[in-house]
Each structure stands twice: as structure tokens, then as C-alpha cells.
């Protein structure tokens, strides 16, 4: 019942040439000229610099804070929890347990205790050393498997931030059981630009915040509740580092900068150092999954039982959302009528982790893809065949109860298989003669829960069309896609479409996703055409002609709500990885990765392709080179930025899109491809060497250890 | 306030160094910022080694190879003779981004303990030449230099490599490990179908969590000469027995070596 | 110390502390904000500039080392913002600017490699980009754009 057609082949070598003349990103010019203004690029008169004093302990009582009175405190402002006029809490959605500044005790290493600001960064850093915080260290809880024992109480009665169980269909009698445990360590979003905020008090008593904040409504809410500020404007700077998790931590930073700015009546900047960014900011929740599957002789799933444990860190922040994403993808792209899924996200004395959709989806897929491989092994079946037997088909329902009206899992695998047969364009770093070649396949499914909310507006100003959309871009390029959509719909040059960056004084923030925004933009543009047609008394729907006729210079503004569409929005991905493993050292050299993705027709195929390539790169980084270790007090000890692979580690990439009927609303093609890549890398290593990789990352150490 | 001194000759350098024993040396400059981050205050004096002809140049001859202390990694990999006679060193210097390789000097490596290159120098039997105004000129093996700091007032002026001998074969591998990189440098002298001399050095950064710039002496194995392979593996016992880094380094390097020997025979 | 150097062909004379990182001087004293600081010596490469045509990390160069030297930054790639330099044009057209934070550094290393003889082939180019990280693009678009210009 599924239909699919190949609309676009974007092969590595030909793409740039083939797509010459495609609209470049609207902000590309500023970026290649070095003119794009990131937080640290903005000059503000009288700017003060803030720094944060952080806890060295995972868990401790705070006995007191004192300043060295011998030191010169002229021009330096120190802020502690006692200076917060309202509720000492960062607002992350409904959650309120994360303090702006610790007061009685600290729950993780790196927790903010004091903020101070000074006229220069150097002076601020020097002053930090003149503050003494006295602690009484307490036994910390660092192992999430022990959280529910409750030996240390961190959150509520049982240290559980959220818990979900889904049960569908009863246990079945027949089939062989296979039980495995899988682990995916934390992942760091490693943005190239660290989080930063400037808080500027205005003459009218309001406050403007400028910086790398992707959730302006949380900033506003926090400042309303904690600082009792009624008028707060949040303006988005250009943000460095795609998919970089600018949600939670920047809210706290904004509050820190605001506390100082209000106190001294001057603009204050707070930008994290690279070390702070690496050690203390939110990572993707470390995940442990036990999967029990009952299968028949062809590997068909008769029952799936999954138990998920996520480490939320010291505060709830967005942990419930991370759990929801993991649960939603617990079966990956596969179908089974008899399911038991139980997930819990617990508290530990570690820096709080955050929901990071791209990685949350990928992590869960690694586990389910590995399970499929073990199912194939246990019955000596072909792993691709096992996937094809189980992959979701049109009319199947997910374990959440949603029914998929279309599904093209089989087609994406087959297309990927076809593409993977082509000879390698280049053999990257051929490696030692003894290298063992391996090939693996992975599948993934990306489900986007529609959120809706807020509105989009278009403004006609003379010839220019201005879009006001509730979206914060961090390099994913959605503003360009919005502009392309509008310019195409109106048949006007893209240069006459302007997309405003997020500014809460003009745009109401919303949780809506880019595809939902695109749908609303489609509608609002149609309304704009009608209004202009009416104004000039024409029946034409040719916007360019209408504009020519138009004599009035009056500004027209049309607003359209963003409606959540019914049902899920889904994209399928398949990845085929071709790699070499050095049997002496366990080093993995990737040769080629083929991905095929099925979803809606992309608005700007070239940008979707680059986004996909970026997502594949991030998956490679987390699979093979990321180095995250836990320090003695629970914070991360990260050496370098290994989560980003180097250019030389990238294989030949082949990406292809498959157009799927748009019956369930649009999906972002790039989300979720990482899961297929992670699974395929692990399977290819196993094919090459027989080593069963049970965890991410898969460094040479782990590969060598797993060799049979 | 920091004062910058720019001696124009070795003699002038040694005098300045003698007069200002606490001054900081500035060679390629690639390691300076990391050192500064650790200091409470910037140094009072800095001596720039950039303008001293006596510290530059590469000479390959019958008695071995002389590398001026200010020779950069980039120059070392680009040099045809170095590549021909000491491929292991050439390879060791080819790692890392061009932005760093264009600046890091071999003198800086000898004193800064950059672990990617040191194993290659050690396995090749390199000696480091020190000069000071008051101390006599000395040439020390790299492994001896690692055990003690240079005397006050001394500078590294050059690195010497013994001449390449017929039958010498080398191997160099750099593995990107999860807990840090592992470097393996090996050398064999084969004559009359027999292994006459063998050396192996494994370099790893410090324990995970510590800064990569400081190489723990304990993690660098001593070269083993003219012994069978089984004995070579014994030399790994000297490595830190607890750390996972070194147990991996031990396993991987002995396998690399075994494959290499199989390949040679 | 009194420092005199040329930045994008313009002579600058400044009184500076000799060990100040070059990036601080460029950004804070000369308002050249194109080179970005993404790390502190972790090789992100966002700060890459050319000193006498050699690519360096501006965050790791003490400014006294550029005395009398010629420094080139992204701002010097084109004198006229209406007409982009070939590398800029190629990166923009290829859609190789995601968030753009790595872009100025990529352009400068690209310029240095373009001047190199012989010009690097695709695989060598990838290796030579090992000191410039990009989180957004997976590098493919950047590499293709650079190769196109180098041909
Ligand atoms: C991006 C980057 C990455 C790096 N990665 C690593 C790494 O992975 N591992 C590692 O170990 N190091 C690393 N380093 C550090 C660097 O390789 C070493 O610090 C090296 O010493 C720098 O050499 P240089 O010529 O630039 O010395 P400089 O930075 O100019 O000098 C640093 C110090 O070295 C000493 N020194 C230099 N030359 C001499 C001499 N001729 N005689 C006596 N003393 C001298 C002096 O004490 C001087 O103060 C890295 C540096 C950078 C910038
Ligand atoms: S800022 Fe210079 S290397 Fe990252
Ligand atoms: S474009 Fe974002 S880091 Fe390269």
C-alpha cells in the first residue's frame, strides 16, 4: 500500500555542480564576509563582564560565602542567591527545581553559587579568586543504577524525575527469547560557539537580552518569576553551532547576567569559557536499555520488552521530554503488536542533562538496531532480511497507538542497498594491509510530535516581504527555507523576502517545529495574495502582477496561527556503512556511508542534503571519536572537541531522498538519520571482526576488547 | 608589564639567558598560551628565539643529522632528506593541523615533551644538545632529558640523529584512542636475515582527565635492544599497570609490532 | 611594546603587551570580529588567520610574533562587499555556511591551501582541514567548494 518515488539523487561528487544556481542560504553573504554578529562580536558601550563561581563538589552543604576584605572590590559587583527578589528557580517548561544560584547546598560539580561582574573579563576572573565559599562535602550519588535505592535523596520521594510505562497486547506463548543490554553514553552538543548572553537595562526600566537562547519564553518566564521583571525582550544573536542545545543552560545564564545588569544599571555580558561549556553544560542523557525480544524462525518480533534507564543529572529540567522521545522510539522503525516499554529518568549528583531530540532519537535506535543484529545472529538469519520482515508498513500502528498511514521502510533499505553497490569513489586512508572490511545496515524512524502554537506573520512593505516566525535558528538554515517557500509561492525574487530573527517584542515565542511553521506560512501567503487582490480590485492570483498594480504604500500585515496537525509526522532513514577495522589496534576507518531518507519533499533539497551530511558527521563523532569521561566529582572531563569529527575522518557520503506521500504532515528529513548510522557502524564492525559492540562510543579500546 | 628580548646570535642569547634566569623562552610560540593560562601573572621577561641563525637549519650528512632547535614540524616533514633517512620522524611530525605544525619547533618539542614526536626521536636514538653560558655543552639522550629538567640558563640548540644504517627499518603509528592517542614508534635493524637490533617506544598522554600537554614519564617505555619479541612485550610491564590507557597501548602496540615483524619476514 | 604590523594591507601601530593573543588584538583593538574564538587551544580553527601567508591559530599566537609581519583576516578577502572573493562566492553558493562560525577560519585555511604548490587533491585537502572543525555541514559542501575554486 505504500507508494514511493525517487525524486532526487544527490550524490557527493555531482551535487555542487548539479545544483548550481540553487538559492544560497540567505545569511551566507554575511557569514563569508565575517560580518555575522555573534554575541561576542557586538560592541556595547559600558559593557561589564560577568563570571560564575562554581561548586567543586558533587554534593555539599554551603556553610557560608565570604569576600577577601584585603582585596580591592571597587567596581566589582557580587551577586548571590540572597539577592534574588523572587523565586530562585529557572523555568524550564513546568519544571522549577533548578535554582538560579545555589543557596543552602549544591547538588552537582559546577553548580553556580556566585555571579560577579567587573569592567573587564580579566578583573572579573581575578576577583573570583578572592571569594571563599565554605562547603561541607557530603557523599554524592553518581551512579544512576543506584538512584532508586534512595540512599541519597535528591529529588522527590524516589529520585525519579519521570516514569512511563506502555503495555500493548499480552505476552505470547511461542518463539525464542533474546535478551541484551545496550548502553549509549552521554553526548555533548559541542557548539563551536560557547553559550553567551548580554543583558541590557533600558531607560524605561525594561530589560533586553541578546544572545544564544533558543527558548525565549523560558527566559521571559524565569525573569518574571525570579527577578520580578515584567518587561523583558529577548533578541536572538546569530548562533554558532548547529543542533547545539541552546535551550536550558542559556536561560540560567540570561538570569545571571540580568541579576548583575539590574543591580548596576549597566549592560553585562556573560559568556562561558570552553572549559565551562565542556564540563558543566547539559549533555544528552546517558541511556541504558535492556531489550527482551521474542521472535519466530524468520526473526519476526512476537513480543518486545524494553526497560530504559536515563540519567537526568541533578535537576529535572527537560528530562521528562528526553524520556518521552526515547519511549516514542523504543521500537525504532519496527512493528510489534505485543509490547511492554518501561522507562525511568532518575536523579544523580551530576550536571543536569537536557533533551536533545537528534541524539535522543539516535541513542534509542542504536539499541534497537543492535538487538535486530542479535536476533539475526541467534537464528543465523540475514540481518537485512530480519529488518525487512519487521519494518513498519502502511497501516501498522506504533506502540503508542498512532497508526501510520504510509511507511516506506522497505523502500529506503532497498534503495540504500542499490546505491551501496556502486564502486567506492575514493578509498579513504586505506589503512594497513591486514584491515578487515565490513558492511552494516541501519534503519531509523524519526517521529515528530506536532506542537503547534503561536503564529506566523507576513508584512508587505513596499516591495519587501517580511516574515515574522517564532523560530530560533542555530545554523540549521530554516529561515532560508522559509524564505524560499514564500518566494516560490509568491513568485517573487528571494532577495525581496526578509526573515526577522527572533525578537520577543515583535514575535510571540512558540514550540512549533519548522515543518509546522512552513504549513502556516503556506496559508498566510495565500491570504496575503487575496488581500492585495482585493485592494487593487483584481481577481488575479499572480502576486507579481498585483504588486505592479498596487499604488498604495500602506503596510499590510497578515497573521496566521500555527496549528498542530493531527497525527504524527514521520521520516524514515536507512544507512549503509562501509568500513575497515584494523585487527591489531581496533581502529575503524570509514570508507563510505550511504543514507536514504524518506519524508516530505524538501523545500530546499540542497540545504536538506547538507543538514543530512552534518547529522551523519555528528553521528560519526559520537560513535567513534567523542571522549566524555566522568570526573571524580561527577562533572564531565572532556579533552578537546572530539564530538565533532575531523574532515579527514569523514567517508565518502551518498545521500538520497525518497518522496513519500504527505498524508501525515511534513517531517524534517534530517532528524533521526544518526540512529541509522550508529547502528550500521556497529553492525559493520561486527561483520568485519565478530566483535559485538554493546555501547556507544566505539573507540579502538572497546573494539579491541570486544574482539572474539 | 612584560619585556621582550630579541637576541641576534647564540652568544647574545646565552648571555641574556644567563642574566635573566627566570625569563620565559619563546620559540615557535605554539605552547605559550597554554603555559600562560597556568601562570598567576605574565612573566617579567620573554626571550624570543626567532631571530637567531645558529638555531635554524637542517643538515644531513655522514655523521648523522643535525636539526636546529627552531626547525618546525612543517619543515621537517617537507625536507626530502629527512624523509628519506628518517621516515619515522617525518611521519611523526606530519600529524596535527597545519596551523600548529607551521609553528611548533623541534627544540620546543624536546623541552615541551610533545608525545607524538618524542617516541620517534627516542627510537631513532636522538640526542639533544644543550648550551648554557656557564655549563658545558652536553648532548643527552631523550629519555635522560625526560627524567630531569634542563639546568637554569640552558637552552636546547639542536637535536642530533645518528646516521641511518643499512638494514634499518622503522614503523610509526598513531592511534586515536578513546582515552587519548597512542603513539607507537619501532625500529629494527635486520642484517643477514637476522634481527640485530630492535627498539620500541610507546607514547600516551597522561591519565585521562589530566592535561594532554604533560607526558608522564612513566608511560613512555624504554627501548629494548636486540631481544626477541617476547622480551619486547616484557618492556610494557614498565608502563603504568593500572590505567586503561596503557593496557590498551600495551595490547595494541604488541599486536602492531607482531604484524609488522610478520610482514617483514 | 610598540608593535607595527600590516593587517589586510593596512599598517597598524599599537602599544601592546607582547604576549597578548593575536585574536584579542584583532577583535578588541582593531574591531576585526571575523576571526572567532571557539576554544582555548583545542584546535577548533575558528580563529585561523594568515601571518605572512602561513595559516595560524590567532588564539595561540602571542602578538609580538607578528611584529613587522603581514596579517590577513577574512575582512581582507575582498575590498568590496558587493564582490565576493572566489572562495567566498564558492562557499556561499554551495550552501557550505551552516551557522557560519567556522566559516572565516575555513576561508583563511582554504586561501592558504589554494596558494600552495602543488595544490592538494581531495584526500589531502581533507587531512589539511584537520585543524578546522565544523559542526554543521559534515564538511562535504566545504571541501567541494574549495576544490572547485582550486581547479
Ligand atoms: C593547538 C596546539 C595543540 C597542541 N597539542 C599538543 C599535544 O597534543 N601534546 C603536547 O605535548 N603538546 C601539545 N601542544 C604544545 C606544543 O606542542 C608544545 O608546547 C611545544 O613545546 C611547542 O613548541 P614551540 O616551539 O611552539 O615552543 P614555545 O611555545 O615557543 O615555547 C614553549 C616553552 O618551551 C620551552 N622551549 C621552547 N624552545 C626551547 C629551546 N630551544 N630551549 C629550551 N626551552 C625551549 C620553553 O620553556 C618555552 O617557554 C600543542 C600546542 C598547540 C598550540
Ligand atoms: S579559537 Fe583558536 S583554535 Fe579554537
Ligand atoms: S557552519 Fe557551523 S560550524 Fe561550520
More confidently predicted of A563 and A111: A111
Rounded CA gap, A77 and A118, in Å?
7
Whole-number mean pLDDT of chain B?
79
Across the interface, which of C36, C74, C97 has its CB nearest the CB of A193? C36
pLDDT over 70 at A361, yes or no: yes
Q: Is A295 buried (19+), middle (13-18) or exposed (0-12) by CB count in 10 A?
A: buried
More confidently predicted of B125 and A351: A351
pLDDT at A186: 93
Ligand 2: does its nearest atom lie under 6 Å from the Cβ of C144? no
Same domain, C6 and C69: yes
Q: Which three cell numbers stand for residue C133?
A: 572543525
pLDDT over 80 at A20, yes or no: no
pLDDT over 60 at B219, yes or no: no
More confidently predicted of B216 and A449: A449
Q: Per-residue confidence at A126, pLDDT binned at 50, 70, 90?
A: very high
Average pLDDT over residues C95-113: 96
The backbone torsions φ and ψ at residue A114, rounded to the nearest 5 degrees and listed phi first, read: -135, 145
- Model pTM greater than 0.90? yes
Whole-number mean pLDDT of chain A?
90
Q: Does domain A451-561 have CATH number 1.10.8.50?
A: no
Report the CATH number at residue C36. 3.10.20.30
Rounded CA gap, B102 and C65, in Å?
13
pLDDT over 90 at A213, yes or no: yes
- Domain ranges in chain A are 1-36+409-448+567-708, 39-139+190-280, 451-561
Fold for A39-139+190-280, please state it: Aldehyde Oxidoreductase; domain 3 (3.90.1170)
- Are the Cβ atoms of B96 and C131 closer than 8 angstroms? yes
Structural domains of chain B ordered from first start: 3-161 (3.30.465.10), 168-264 (3.30.390.50)
pLDDT over 70 at A18, yes or no: no
Ligand 3: does its nearest atom lie under 6 Å from the Cβ of A242? yes
Q: Per-residue confidence at B147, pLDDT binned at 50, 70, 90?
A: low
Return the residue matching grid coordinates 581496533: A586
Decide whether A39-139+190-280 matches A451-561 in CATH topology. no
pLDDT at A567: 55
Distance from the A353 Cα atom to the nearest Cα atom in chain B, whole angstroms: 20
- Are the Cβ atoms of C144 and A16 closer than 8 angstroms? yes
More confidently predicted of B155 and B203: B155
More confidently predicted of A404 and A178: A178
pLDDT at A159: 97
Same domain, C38 and C93: no
Return the residue matching grid coordinates 503556506: A522
Same domain, C21 and C72: yes
Distance from the C60 Cα atom to the nearest Cα atom in chain B, whole angstroms: 6
pLDDT at B207: 30
Count A/B contacts: CB-CB distance under 8 Å: 51
Distance C23 CA to ligand 2 centre (A): 9
Between the CA of residue B31 and those of A164, B57, B101, B112, B212, what are the distances in Å?
A: 51, 21, 12, 8, 12
Same domain, C9 and C61: yes
pLDDT at B134: 86
pLDDT at A687: 95
Q: Per-residue confidence at B93, pLDDT binned at 50, 70, 90?
A: very high
Same domain, C65 and C6: yes
Q: Do A587 and B251 touch, CB atoms closer than 8 A? A: no
A697: cis peptide before it, omega within 30°? yes
Residue C137 inside a domain? The answer is yes
Q: Domain boundary residue among C76, C110, C137?
A: C76
Pick the residue from chain C with its C-alpha nearest to A655.
C140
Average pLDDT over residues B6-11: 96
- Are the Cβ atoms of B251 and A631 closer than 8 angstroms? no
Average pLDDT over residues B20-41: 92
Task: Work out whether strand A339-347 and strand A436-448 pair parallel, antiparallel, or are unpaired.
Answer: unpaired
Which residue's CA is the nearest one to ligand 2's atom 1?
C37
pLDDT at B196: 67
Average pLDDT over residues B181-210: 66
Report the CATH number at residue C141. 1.10.150.120
Residue C110 inside a domain? The answer is yes
Q: Do A644 and A67 touch, CB atoms closer than 8 A? A: no
pLDDT tens digit sequence for A31-42:
999 999 999 999
Between the CA of residue A298 and those of A176, A373, A388, what are the distances in Å?
A: 11, 13, 11
Whole-number mean pLDDT of chain C?
95
Same domain, C26 and C57: yes
pLDDT at B228: 36
Q: Per-residue confidence at B106, pLDDT binned at 50, 70, 90?
A: very high
pLDDT at A669: 60
**Number of domains present in the structure of chain C:** 2
pLDDT over 50 at B227, yes or no: no
pLDDT over 60 at A136, yes or no: yes
pLDDT tens digit sequence for A226-270:
999 999 999 999 999 877 789 999 999 999 999 999 999 999 999
Q: Which of B187, B221, B201, B184 is nearest to B85 (CA)?
A: B187
Same domain, C61 and C14: yes
Q: Domain boundary residue among C76, C98, C125?
A: C76
pLDDT at A248: 94
Residue C81 inside a domain? The answer is no
Average pLDDT over residues A507-532: 92
Q: Per-residue confidence at A368, pLDDT binned at 50, 70, 90?
A: very high
pLDDT at A525: 96
pLDDT over 60 at A524, yes or no: yes
pLDDT at C81: 79
The whole domain housing C10 covers 2-76
Same domain, C21 and C55: yes
Same domain, C90 and C134: yes
C122 interfaces chain A, CB cutoff of 8 Å: yes
pLDDT at A428: 58
Which residue's CA is the nearest one to ligand 3's atom 3?
C134
pLDDT at A606: 87
pLDDT at A367: 98
pLDDT tens digit sequence for A650-705:
999 998 888 776 545 555 666 789 999 999 999 999 999 999 999 999 999 999 99
Residue C127 inside a domain? The answer is yes
Q: Is A559 buried (19+), middle (13-18) or exposed (0-12) by CB count in 10 A?
A: middle
Q: Per-residue confidence at B148, pLDDT binned at 50, 70, 90?
A: low
Same domain, C97 and C140: yes
pLDDT at B211: 22
pLDDT over 90 at A224, yes or no: yes
pLDDT at B260: 78
Average pLDDT over residues A451-478: 93
- Sequence-distant (6+) residues with CB within 8 A of A530 are none
pLDDT at B119: 81
Percent of chain A exceeding pLDDT 90 equals 77
Rounded CA gap, A704 and A581, in Å?
10
Q: Per-residue confidence at A605, pLDDT binned at 50, 70, 90?
A: confident
Name the residue of C39, C94, C105, C134 to mutate for ligand 3: max ligand atoms within 8 A of Cβ.
Answer: C134
Write the class of the CATH domain A1-36+409-448+567-708.
alpha beta
Amino acid at each position: 500500500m505504500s507508494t514511493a518515488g525517487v525524486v532526487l539523487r544527490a550524490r557527493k561528487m555531482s551535487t555542487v555542480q548539479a545544483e548550481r544556481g540553487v538559492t544560497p542560504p540567505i545569511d551566507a553573504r554575511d557569514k563569508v564576509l565575517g560580518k555575522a554578529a555573534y554575541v561576542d562580536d557586538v560592541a556595547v558601550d559600558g559593557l561589564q563582564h560577568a563570571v560564575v563561581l562554581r561548586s567543586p563538589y558533587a554534593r555539599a552543604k554551603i556553610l557560608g560565602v565570604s569576600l577577601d576584605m584585603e582585596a580591592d572590590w571597587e567596581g566589582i559587583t557580587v551577586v548571590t542567591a540572597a539577592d534574588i527578589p523572587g523565586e530562585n528557580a529557572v523555568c524550564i517548561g513546568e519544571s522549577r527545581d533548578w535554582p538560579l544560584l545555589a543557596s543552602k547546598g549544591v547538588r552537582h560539580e559546577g553548580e553556580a553559587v556566585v555571579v560577579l561582574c567587573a569592567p573587564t573579563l580579566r578583573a572579573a576572573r581575578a576577583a573570583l579568586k578572592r571569594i571563599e565559599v565554605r562547603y561541607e562535602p557530603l557523599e554524592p550519588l553518581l551512579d544512576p543504577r543506584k538512584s532508586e535505592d534512595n540512599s541519597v535523596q535528591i529529588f522527590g520521594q524516589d529520585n525519579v524525575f519521570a516514569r512511563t510505562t506502555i503495555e500493548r497486547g499480552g505476552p505470547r506463548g511461542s518463539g525464542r527469547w533474546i535478551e541484551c543490554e545496550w548502553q549509549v553514553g552521554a553526548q555533548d552538543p559541542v557548539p563551536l560557539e560557547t553559550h553567551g548572553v548580554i543583558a541590557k537595562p533600558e531607560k524605561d526600566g525594561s530589560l533586553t537580552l541578546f544572545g544564544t537562547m533558543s527558548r525565549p519564553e523560558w527566559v521571559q518566564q524565569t525573569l518574571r518569576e525570579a527577578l520580578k521583571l515584567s518587561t523583558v525582550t529577548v533578541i536572538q544573536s546569530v548562533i554558532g553551532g548547529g543542533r547545539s542545545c541552546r535551550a536550558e543552560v542559556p536561560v540560567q545564564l540570561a538570569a545571571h547576567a540580568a541579576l548583575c545588569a539590574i543591580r548596576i544599571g549597566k549592560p553585562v555580558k556573560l559568556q562561558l569559557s570552553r572549559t565551562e561549556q565542556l564540563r558543566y553544560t547539559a549533555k544528552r542523557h546517558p541511556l541504558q536499555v535492556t531489550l527482551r525480544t521474542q521472535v519466530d524462525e524468520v526473526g519476526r518480533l512476537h513480543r518486545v520488552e524494553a526497560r530504559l534507564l536515563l540519567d537526568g543529572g541533578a535537576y529535572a529540567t527537560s528530562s521528562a521530554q528526553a524520556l518521552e522521545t526515547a519511549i516514542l522510539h523504543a521500537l525504532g522503525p519496527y512493528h510489534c503488536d505485543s509490547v511492554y516499554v518501561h522507562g525511568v529518568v532518575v536523579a544523580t549528583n551530576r550536571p543536569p542533562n537536557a533533551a536533545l531530540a537528534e541524539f535522543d532519537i539516535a541513542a534509542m535506535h542504536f539499541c534497537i538496531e543492535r538487538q535486530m543484529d542479535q536476533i539475526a545472529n541467534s537464528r543465523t538469519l540475514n540481518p537485512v532480511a530480519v529488518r525487512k520482515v519487521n519494518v513498519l508498513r502502511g497501516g501498522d500502528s506504533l506502540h503508542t497507538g498512532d497508526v501510520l498511514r504510509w511507511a516506506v521502510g522497505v523502500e529506503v533499505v532497498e534503495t540504500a542497498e542499490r546505491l551501496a553497490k556502486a564502486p567506492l569513489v575514493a578509498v579513504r586512508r586505506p589503512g594497513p594491509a591486514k584491515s578487515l572490511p565490513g558492511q552494516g545496515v541501519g534503519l531509523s524512524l524519526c517521529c515528530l510530535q506536532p506542537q503547534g502554537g503561536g503564529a506566523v506573520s507576513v508584512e508587505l512593505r513596499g516591495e519587501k516581504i517580511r516574515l515574522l516566525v517564532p523560530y530560533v535558528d542555530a545554523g540549521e538554515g530554516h529561515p532560508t527555507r522559509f524564505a524560499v517557500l514564500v518566494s516560490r509561492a509568491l513568485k517573487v525574487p528571494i532577495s525581496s523576502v526578509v526573515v526577522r530573527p527572533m525578537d520577543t517584542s515583535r514575535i510571540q515565542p512558540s514550540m512549533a517545529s519548522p515543518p509546522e511553521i512552513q504549513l502556516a506560512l503556506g496559508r498566510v501567503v495565500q491570504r496575503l495574495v487575496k488581500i492585495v487582490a482585493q485592494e487593487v480590485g483584481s481577481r488575479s492570483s499572480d502576486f507579481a502582477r498585483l504588486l505592479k498594480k498596487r499604488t498604495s504604500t500602506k503596510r499590510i500585515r497578515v497573521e496566521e496561527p500555527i496549528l498542530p496537525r493531527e497525527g504524527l509526522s514521520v521520516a524514515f532513514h536507512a544507512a549503509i556503512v562501509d568500513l575497515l577495522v584494523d585487527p591489531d589496534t581496533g581502529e575503524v576507518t570509514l570508507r563510505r556511508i550511504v543514507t536514504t531518507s524518506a519524508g516530505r519533499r524538501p523545500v530546499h533539497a540542497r540545504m536538506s542534503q547538507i543538514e543530512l551530511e552534518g547529522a551523519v558527521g555528528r553521528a560519526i563523532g559520537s560513535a567513534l571519536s567523542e571522549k566524555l569521561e566522568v570526573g571524580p566529582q561527577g562533572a564531565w572531563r572532556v579533552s578537546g572537541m572530539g564530538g565533532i569529527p575531523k574532515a579527514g575522518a569523514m567517508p565518502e557520503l551518498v545521500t538520497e531522498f525518497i518522496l513519500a506521500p504527505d498524508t501525515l504532515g511534513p517531517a524534517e528529513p534530517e532528524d533521526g538519520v544518526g540512529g541509522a548510522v550508529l547502528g550500521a557502524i556497529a553492525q559493520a564492525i561486527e561483520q568485519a571482526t565478530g566483535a559485538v559492540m554493546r555501547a556507544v562510543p566505539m573507540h579502538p579500546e572497546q573494539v579491541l576488547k570486544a574482539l572474539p | 608589564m612584560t619585556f621582550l628580548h630579541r637576541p641576534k646570535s647564540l652568544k647574545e642569547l646565552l648571555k641574556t639567558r644567563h642574566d635573566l634566569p627566570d625569563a620565559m623562552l619563546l620559540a615557535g610560540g605554539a605552547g605559550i598560551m597554554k603555559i600562560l593560562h597556568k601562570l598567576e601573572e605574565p612573566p617579567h621577561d620573554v626571550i624570543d628565539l626567532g631571530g637567531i641563525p645558529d638555531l635554524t637549519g637542517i643538515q644531513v650528512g655522514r655523521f648523522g643529522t643535525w636539526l636546529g632547535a627552531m626547525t618546525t614540524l612543517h619543515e621537517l616533514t617537507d625536507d626530502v632528506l629527512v624523509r628519506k633517512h628518517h621516515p619515522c620522524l617525518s611521519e611523526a611530525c606530519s600529524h596535527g593541523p597545519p596551523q600548529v605544525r607551521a609553528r611548533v619547533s623541534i627544540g620546543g618539542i624536546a623541552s615541551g615533551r610533545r608525545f607524538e614526536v618524542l617516541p620517534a626521536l627516542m627510537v631513532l636514538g636522538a640526542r639533544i644538545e644543550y648550551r648554557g653560558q656557564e655549563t658545558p655543552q652536553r648532548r643527552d639522550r631523550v629519555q635522560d632529558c625526560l627524567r630531569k629538567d634542563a639546568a637554569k640558563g640552558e637552552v636546547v640548540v639542536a637535536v642530533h640523529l645518528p646516521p641511518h644504517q643499512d638494514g634499518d627499518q622503522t614503523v610509526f603509528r598513531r592511534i586515536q584512542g578513546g582515552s587519548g592517542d597512542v603513539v607507537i614508534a619501532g625500529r629494527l635493524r635486520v642484517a643477514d636475515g637476522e634481527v640485530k637490533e630492535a627498539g620500541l617506544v610507546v607514547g600516551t598522554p597522561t591519565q585521562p582527565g589530566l592535561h594532554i600537554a604533560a607526558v608522564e614519564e612513566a608511560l613512555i617505555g624504554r627501548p629494548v635492544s636486540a631481544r626477541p619479541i617476547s622480551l619486547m612485550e616484557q618492556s610494557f610491564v614498565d608502563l603504568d599497570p593500572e590505567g586503561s590507557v596503557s593496557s590498551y597501548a600495551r595490547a595494541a602496540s604488541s599486536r602492531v609490532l607482531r604484524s609488522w615483524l610478520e610482514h617483514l619476514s | 611594546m610598540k608593535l607595527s604590523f600590516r593587517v589586510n594591507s593596512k599598517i597598524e601601530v599599537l602599544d601592546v603587551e607582547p604576549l597578548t593573543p593575536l585574536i584579542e588584538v584583532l577583535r578588541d583593538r582593531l574591531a576585526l570580529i571575523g576571526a572567532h574564538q571557539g576554544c582555548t587551544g583545542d584546535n577548533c580553527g575558528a580563529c585561523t588567520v594568515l601571518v605572512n601567508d602561513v595559516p595560524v591559530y590567532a588564539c595561540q599566537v602571542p602578538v609580538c610574533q607578528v611584529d613587522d609581519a603581514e596579517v590577513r583576516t577574512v575582512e581582507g578577502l575582498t575590498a568590496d562587499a558587493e564582490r565576493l572573493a572566489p572562495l567566498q562566492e564558492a562557499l556561499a553558493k554551495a550552501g557550505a555556511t551552516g551557522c557560519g562560525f567556522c566559516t572565516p577560519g575555513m576561508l583563511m585555511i582554504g586561501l592558504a591551501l589554494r596558494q600552495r604548490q602543488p595544490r592538494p587533491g581531495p584526500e589531502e585537502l581533507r587531512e589539511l582541514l584537520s585543524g578546522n572543525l565544523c559542526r554543521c555541514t559534515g564538511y562535504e559542501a566545504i571541501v567541494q567548494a574549495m576544490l572547485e575554486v582550486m581547479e
